Amino acid sequence: MQLNRVGIGLIAFFGLAGAAFAVAPILIGVPGEVAGILAMVGVIWVLVAAGLAWYARRQKRKAAHQDWIFQQGIRGTATVLYAGSHSTVNEMPLMSLRLDLEVPGAGTREVERREIMPVFAASRMEPGLTLPAYVNPEDPDDFILVW
């Protein structure tokens, strides 16, 4: 996942509007109780913005790490043993996959992975399907699945 324009807008909106709610009533001399309520709303909004920014940063790091595995990792294959979904995220199935991960020189091991996939991809995740995979040479549990 990566932050898109809507995400940047959300962070900016909650951050700036929250800060304005928190500070402006005090600066313009709004009565104490109302200023307190607005300040509380403002602080909550700023916390929401901070949470979103933290999540975006974490996703960016994860993407950078995956890019590194793609560049430096060992190419192998992942064969689907089981695929199922019990929930969706924005109309896309959250797939639970059990895979046979085969890496040249490191043998085969069973691993699990969860991925949010569009319907057309999710519907093709059936036992026996073999996909490319890239494995961290220092940690065989760390891999990216090319689906």
Partner 1 sequence: MPDLQASYGELAAARGLERLPGFDPGPLTPLLSEANGASLQPALRGRLGDGVDGVVGHLAYKRNKTFRFNVALTEVPVATAFAPRVFCVRRGRVTRDDEFYGFGARHSKLWTESTVLNERYAVTTSPYQDPIWLRRLFSPGFIDWLRTAEPADFSFELAYGAVLGSVEEDDPGADGLAALCDATAHVATRIREECEE
Binding site for partner 1 (CB under 8 A): 1-4, 6-11, 52, 55-56, 59, 63, 66, 70, 75, 77, 90, 92, 116-121, 123-124, 129-132, 134, 144, 146-147
Beta bridge partners of 132: 77
**Choice between 84 and 118, CB closer to partner 1:** 118
Tell me the one-letter amino acid at 4.
N
Q: How far is the CB of 109 from partner 1 (least distance, A)?
A: 19
**For residues 103 and 144, which CB has a smaller minimum distance to partner 1 in the complex?**
144
Q: Which is nearer to partner 1, 33 or 126 (CB)?
A: 126
Return the number of the residue (43 or 79) whose C-beta is nearest partner 1: 79
Min dist CB 63 to partner 1, Å, is: 7
Shortest distance (Å) from residue 147 CB to partner 1: 6
Strand partners, 134: 75, 144
**Least separation in angstroms between CB 112 and partner 1:** 19
Contacts 24+ apart (CB under 8 A), 43-51: 43/18, 44/18, 45/14, 45/15, 45/17, 45/18, 45/21, 46/14, 46/15, 46/18, 46/19, 46/22, 47/18, 48/14, 48/18, 49/10, 49/11, 49/12, 49/13, 49/14, 49/15, 49/18, 50/15
